[in-house]
Amino acid sequence: MSSPKPSISFASVSAAPPLGASFAILKRCNFFPWFFLFLTILLAVADPGFVALAAQSSISKDGSAMNNVARDSVAKDSAAKNSPAKKNGGLYFACERKLALKGKRIKASDWLGKTSKTLSYGDRAVDCDSLYSEEQLFERLAAEIKSSGQPLTLFVHGCCVSFSEDLIQASDIQEALQAAGLNGPLLAYDWATPCYNYAGSLAKLPGCRTNFTAFLERLVAKLGRDKIVIVAHSLGIHAVQNYCLQAQKTEPEASQVFSAVILSRPDVDFSSFKTSEAALKNFSGKLMLLCARNDINLKLSSFIRRAGYNFVDDPRPVHDNYLRLGQASVASGVADRLAVYDISHLRLRHLIPYKLIAGLLSGETSSYLIERADGGVLEVKNRL
């Protein structure tokens, strides 16, 4: 009879630095699986190319890399000049980091992901950033929703993302939405993930769940039901799951709090999703899941867990619980119950498919060929 597979867990992820954890694991387990685990984590810590991928760098509509906020600002300024009569929604943020307004731009403690005791709120414009109170934020969002006649888009980023990168990703989503005729405001929720640090991002999840749920409760109370669209990416989906689970307990009769919810490449185990699936569907006017067969980041996340490196928030080891919901082989299992889109053919690695998201929300997907495959999964391909 084969011996049971060793499983190493840590009471606190932050207490187990990736390199130190890897050496400890190597001493206790068979050499080769843990040696590859060590190499994988070493790449995530030291290799710049891999780090850029792990950070989920933004891409523009044509697939080129976005390097800084200035480039994005120039693009938005040019778009504004070309359509002066068109009023677009603002780009706002709610942030768990310690922020400081230095000159015209906000500086954040990105590398360590230092959090503040209270959330910070503000907006990013072409020429400057602004900070203000939660009440002022809610008033501005409500006014823009009323004037545009369109819902707020709430974006929740994934792991290893800095404040600046979060706003770049949010700006890219907003640009795609505006190109599709959706001109409502966009609010980026930044949960203070440390740069290039997956274990550190996981350590932030418990606090993120609590803070995001409380914030979203206040936001929904102010804006009302069916006034919000949620786009959550990778690990950020944990926060949305938690809100729906908690809201279902306090308001079991409530439904369709959000116009739509898009789960982009979920770094979530299947058992966790099964627990929250009913709540997610109940609170969403439309629930959509984006998955892929060739997502290297999700394969890495799955591999680390399969090797026995279990984080504090992972469920107890069960068959295949290391697989991630964003992997097409897992997502296909729920295609009979919700809209599942396989975006493998877009070849975006772990990046956010901005244009597709805008198309799904606007109902205009003519740029893509979407065909139903076996099992009900909708395969997405670029039209030639």
Specify the pLDDT at position 45: 44
**Domain-located, residue 329:** yes
pTM for this structure? Answer: 0.81
Q: What is the pLDDT along the chain (384 residues), one digit of tens a residue?
A: 444 444 444 333 334 443 444 444 334 444 444 444 454 555 444 443 344 444 454 444 433 334 443 444 434 444 444 444 457 889 999 999 989 888 999 988 766 667 888 999 999 999 999 999 999 999 999 999 999 999 999 999 999 999 999 999 999 999 999 999 999 999 999 999 998 899 889 999 999 999 999 999 999 999 998 999 999 999 999 999 999 999 999 888 888 899 999 999 999 998 889 999 999 999 999 999 999 999 999 999 999 888 877 676 665 556 667 899 999 999 999 999 999 999 999 999 999 999 999 999 999 999 999 999 988 999 999 997
**Domain-located, residue 349:** yes
Specify the pLDDT at position 320: 64
Specify the pLDDT at position 111: 64
**Domain-located, residue 127:** yes
Domain region containing 91:
8-382
**Domain-located, residue 3:** no
**Domain-located, residue 1:** no
Helix (H, G, I), strand (E, B) or coil at 213: helix
**Domain-located, residue 2:** no
Radius of gyration of the chain, Cα coordinates, nearest whole angstrom: 20
Kindly report the backbone phi and psi dihedral angles of residue 67, in degrees, each rounded to the nearest multiple of 5, phi listed first. Answer: -100, -30
* C-beta contacts of 254-258 below 8 A and 24+ residues apart: 254/225, 254/282, 254/283, 255/282, 255/283, 256/225, 256/226, 256/282, 256/283, 256/284, 256/285, 257/220, 257/225, 257/226, 257/228, 257/283, 257/284, 258/226, 258/228, 258/229, 258/230, 258/283, 258/284, 258/285
Domain count, the chain: 1
CATH number (domain holding residue 227):
3.40.50.1820
Task: Give the Cα separation of 300 and 158 in Å (integer).
Answer: 15
Q: What stretch of H or E contains 315? A: none
Q: What is the dihedral of CA 300, 320, 18, 59, to 10 degrees?
A: 30
**E strands in 158-286:** 186-190, 228-233, 260-264
**Nearest CA-CA partner of 341 in 365, 376, 367:** 376
Specify the pLDDT at position 68: 40
Specify the pLDDT at position 115: 81
**Domain-located, residue 230:** yes
- Provide the β-strand partners of residue 155: 188, 231
